[in-house]
Structure formats: structure tokens, C-alpha cells
Amino acid sequence: MNIVVLCGGLSMERNVSICSSTLICKALRKLGHRAVMVDMYFGLEDCDVEPAKLFEALPPLAEVSVSELAPDLDAVRRARKWKSPSMVGKGVFELCALADVVFLGLHGTCGEDGRIQAALDLMGVPYTGSGYLGSAIAMDKDLTKQLVRAAGLRTPEWRLLYYREGQIEALCGELRLPCVVKPVDSGSSIGVAIAHNREELEKALRENAGLGRVIVEQYIHGREIQVGVLRGKALPSIEIIPKGGFYDYKNKYQAGAAVEICPAPVEPETEQMLGATALKVHKLLELSTYSRTDFLLTEAGEIYFLEINTLPGMTPTSLVPQEAAATGIDYNSLCQMIVDDALGGADA
């Protein structure tokens, strides 16, 4: 098949996306597919052949890794030759229209928020993962938590904030500590901070002041457990134990920065409940093919839902590939299953 692996974009998670997509593209080529990786933001601006020719002479793939630092998006914008306000680069949609399926290796805004899914729907181009509506809701932590709580599931108490710099001091006097400050629509723990005191809270609020909407969430002390869903079934849980701090951007993508145990060392009843809850949220948001849900498990055995990801990472340290491997599904087979699902090969 001709497959476009769409990556990059103008998300703070673009580096993670490029790493995921490189591995995905390599896997698809090993499976015999004609897979072409393209950065959604830069597009084909440096390509000197017709888009269809790319499937005949596959461009080489560079070795990549995820930097400890999030990308400088202003520098990314300056690097593009095509000076257009469009977030989709030259030739991207033309190339996608030539593909049998688009594998969405995107993460974060522009990729997981439903907008590219809606565009591909209008074009009639099949793509991997969930549709535009479920993607948009799942990307919004406030909306997701509202639906989850209404469904009777436990989630930390939270407050959605719209604030300016001048309001930070007053907010520090209102908010209960300890708490977690996080952007409402970002992933990979970018912008997330745990505030134990007023000084840490003020710093976190200032760092997130330009984002528009921010969640301040009740801090729950517990084990970090994540559960993937693949083709309508829960995968084995995985426990993450950072060697320092919490499971932030650095600890997620630097090899050896965290201990990851799969299946998680929990009681069978707890494992069953974690899987059932992940599956319930997946179905509640009408997601497709695969997702990954993040939980906290307290000493008392209480399960707290944190968030759900509709395009889970596929990097060397990502969790869904590890969970799939625990059931005997290797990386290449996982990629093929995701493609098959996009083409109607299995029920979501």
C-alpha cells in the first residue's frame, strides 16, 4: 500500500512525533508498504519531484531521538521557506490524497485535537486512530474530566482557569495546595508542574499564563499506572516509576530516566478494574483503534482517572508498544494492526 506517515506540525510535541513517525515509517517499509514520512508543517517545500514519485523512490529516513528540551516553535516557524499562515505545509494534502491510508504520527495540538482528522474526512482519505469529535474532546482535559465524572468515575477535583499575569497573586491565595498545574490541551507533560507551596504555584502559573486555559488539579499521591486499549480490548497495565521527580517530558523520552514495569505489579482485581475503566473511557468518548489512559492508584486502592491520549507515542520508550509486546504483539505487527483498523479491517 501507499502510506503517508504524517508527523511534526506546530505542536510542542513535534520532536516526539518525528521520533514516533520515523519508527512507524521504518516498520511499515519492513512490512512491504511504500511509506513516505512528511512533516505536516514543512510539507514538500524541499521536494523537487512530483508527489506521486515519492512512493516509487522512497526518501531515506534519518536516525532521530527525542531531545530533553521541548522545541522552539518560533524557530520552527522561521525555518519554513513558505511564508504562509497555514499550519499545513505545501503539498501535504496533495500527497495524502494519493495515499491508500494516512498514518497519523502526530501528537498534541494540530494532530490529536481533531482538526487534521476533520480535514482528511472532508477529503475522503482514510487515516489511523480516532475521528475528529472524539479526538477533540479527549484533547480537552476539562471536557474529558466532566464526562468521566458524569459517568461515575473518580478523577481529581479541578478548576479551569482563564487568567492574566495580574491575577496570579490573588489566585495563589485562593488555590489549595498541593496541586498540579497543567495546560488544558497539551500532552507529554509539557507545562505540567506540581506545586507544594505558594512559590512553586506562582512559578507554575506564570509559566502557563500565555496558554489561555489552564487546569489546576487536586494533587493525589499515588502510583502512576497507564493502560492502553487496542481494538476494543485493554492491554496489560504498565507502572512508571521516575528515577527523579515526576513523569515529566524528560523522564518520558530519555532512555533509563524511569523504571517501567509491565504488567504493573497490582492485584488481579485491580488490574481488571484498570482495564475496565480504560475501556469505559475509550468507549465513552467514542474513540477508535487505540488509546492510552493515565491513572493514579492510591495506597487505599482508589483509581483516579487523569487523562486519555488518542494518538499514543510510538517512540522507543513509549508505553503502548511495551504493553502490546507483553501480549505478544511486536512493533511491526502493532503498526499493521493500526493500519488494518483504519481500513475497516476490525471493529474499533
pLDDT in tens, the chain (348 residues): 999 999 999 988 889 999 999 999 999 999 999 999 999 999 999 999 999 999 999 999 988 877 777 788 999 999 999 999 999 999 999 999 999 999 999 998 889 999 999 999 999 999 999 999 999 999 999 999 999 999 999 999 999 998 888 899 999 999 999 999 998 886 545 678 999 999 999 999 998 887 678 999 999 999 999 999 999 999 999 999 987 555 444 444 445 568 999 999 999 999 999 999 999 999 999 999 999 999 999 999 999 999 999 999 998 788 999 999 999 999 999 999 999 999 986 444
Find the helix or strand (DSSP H, E) in which 240 lies: strand 238-242
Question: Alpha carbon of 220 to those of 27, 58, 243, 281: distances in Å?
Answer: 38, 48, 19, 20
Report the C-alpha gap between 308 and 236 in whole angstroms: 16
Q: Which fold has domain 2-127?
A: Rossmann fold (3.40.50)
H helical segments located in 208-304: 249-253, 268-284
DSSP 235: P
**Position of cell 496533495?**
94
CATH of domain 138-153+221-342: 3.30.470.20
For the chain, the structural domain boundaries read: 2-127, 138-153+221-342, 158-218
CB-CB contact of 213 with 184 (8 Å): yes
- Write b or e for each residue in 277-312: b if 16 or more Cβ atoms lie within 10 A of its Cβ, otherwise e: bbbbbbebbebbbbbbbbbbbeeeeebbbbbbbbbb
Class of domain 158-218: alpha beta
CB-CB contact of 319 with 292 (8 Å): yes
